[in-house]
Amino acid sequence: MDKEKILEINNLKISFTQYQKGMQQTELPVIKDLSVTIHAGEMVAVVGSSGSGKSLLAHGILRILPYNAEMGGEIRYCGKPLTEKNIRKLRGKEIVLVPQSTAYLDPLMKVGRQICKGLKDKEKKHRLDTIFEEYSLDKKVQEQYPFELSGGMTRRIMISTALVEKPKLVIADEPTPGLDPKLAKRAMEHFRQLADMGAAVLVITHDLELALETVDRVQVFYAGHTIEDASVDDFEREETLRHPYTRALWRAMPKHGFHYIGGVQPYVKDNLQGCPFAPRCDMASRECQGEIPWKVSGSGYVRCIL
Ligand SMILES: Nc1ncnc2c1ncn2[C@@H]1O[C@H](COP(=O)(O)OP(=O)(O)OP(=O)(O)O)[C@@H](O)[C@H]1O
Ligand code: NI
């Protein structure tokens, strides 16, 4: 693809420093090796189980990590390193986040004022009205405080806020929980539209089935590592997927019978070498404990020796 690379993340690492019993310091490496590239016009889903570090990825890109977090690796935006100074200028304008937690709204400020912070011009106000209509939000909502709204309503407002700007990069962190299936689908379609208009869209989710309806590619994230990057077409059949974990995810999808994956994801502190899925994999061998290189395979790539 020769479209412009909007976001390029190489070997991202995020770890926390924790203090135990006095001054004893421990490192908690949550994201160990994550790489993802999104071109203009592309919508990519990052899927991973709960607690695997998906929100940290979003917060790492926007540089809103907690003080005890440390980040390594490389993040590039439109071909240049995304520095702390740059992101400050771009955040909320060219680069927008739809946060996972509804706690991101200021509880003491009316909703309308929060969304309209930068909406001095008429065009944006008009866009906001249209978006509100599309999400079945009454204009009166703008006069309310966050505590007066239901969870689903708050989520719709957060999505609207991000869509009002004409962003170049959209990062949506679990944007659909709390929405009914129709609205969830509409939200995903809305992100798709932004991609079709030229934006790069990163959707962080554990709803693989919903994501597959709108995205172009899926990045599978497991125990701190990117393990596979597959096109949506690869998900049509189990055989076209490459990593045993991705195949297990496929079998766990409701329409493929909800098959449960045995075992649990390794804890970040258990400093496992090699493939993080090996302890749960039927096909694992000694080789899986060594360094596992990326392999290009069809339209995707995978980190598996099989
Ligand atoms: N401030 C912090 N200090 C220490 N560890 C933290 C901190 N914030 C997050 N973590 C650790 O990072 C892990 C990943 O958190 P994150 O919120 O990114 O997960 P997630 O994949 O977004 O999960 P979910 O699907 O539940 O949203 C957590 O399980 C937790 O162990
Ligand atoms: Ni999260």
Identify each DSSP E strand in the chain by its residue range.
5-20, 24-39, 43-47, 69-77, 80-81, 95-98, 169-173, 200-205, 217-222, 225-231, 295-297, 300-302
CA terminus-to-terminus distance, the chain = 27
Q: Is 64 in the pocket of ligand 1 (CB under 6 A)?
A: no
With H, G, I as helix, E, B as strand and everything else as coil, classify residue 303.
coil
Residue having the nearest C-alpha atom to atom 11 of ligand 1: 30
Counting ligands in written order, the one closest to the CA of 59 is 1
101 by Cβ neighbours in 10 Å (0-12 / 13-18 / 19+) ranks as exposed
The pTM (predicted TM-score) of the whole model is 0.90
Q: Find, among 174, 148, 163, 190, the residue nearest to 50 by Cα.
A: 174
Q: Is the CB of 53 under 6 A from ligand 1?
A: yes
For 68-106, what is each residue's pLDDT tens digit?
999 999 999 999 999 999 999 998 889 999 888 777 777
Residue 225 has pLDDT above 80, yes or no: yes
In angstroms, the CA 302 to CA 58 distance is: 22
CATH 3.40.50.300 for the 5-302 domain, yes or no? yes
Nearest ligand to the CA atom of 32: 1
User: What is the predicted ipTM?
Assistant: 0.97
Domain boundaries of the chain, sorted by first residue? 5-302
Question: What value does the mean pLDDT of the chain take?
Answer: 88
Q: With a 6 A CB cut-off, is 66 part of the ligand 1 pocket?
A: yes
Nearest residue (CA) to ligand 1, atom 14: 53
pLDDT digits (tens, 9 = 90+) for 139-189: 788 888 888 888 788 888 888 877 777 789 999 999 888 778 888 898 899
Give SS3 for 255. helix
pLDDT for the residue 159: 81
Testing ligand 1's pocket by substitution, the residue of 12, 14, 16 carrying the most ligand atoms inside 8 A of its CB is 16
Q: Is the CB of 56 under 6 A from ligand 1?
A: yes
Q: Characterize 107-124 residue by residue with b for buried, 16 or more Cβ atoms within 10 angstroms of its Cβ, and e for exposed.
A: eeebbbebbbeebeeeeb
Beta pairing, strands 69-77 & 300-302: unpaired
| Per-residue confidence (pLDDT) for residue 118, from 0 to 100 | 57
Q: Which of 90-104, 223-237, 244-258 has the lowest mean pLDDT?
A: 90-104
- With a cut of 60, say whether residue 32 has pLDDT above it: yes
3-state helix, strand, coil in the chain (%, to 5): 35, 25, 35
Task: Give me the pLDDT at residue 98, please.
Answer: 87
Between the CA of 25 and the centroid of ligand 1 the distance, in Å, is 19
pLDDT at position 125: 77
Going by alpha carbons, the residue nearest to atom 31 of ligand 1 is 51
Mean pLDDT, residues 14-23 taken together: 82
Crossing angle of the two packed helices 181-196 and 151-164, in degrees rounded to 10: 10
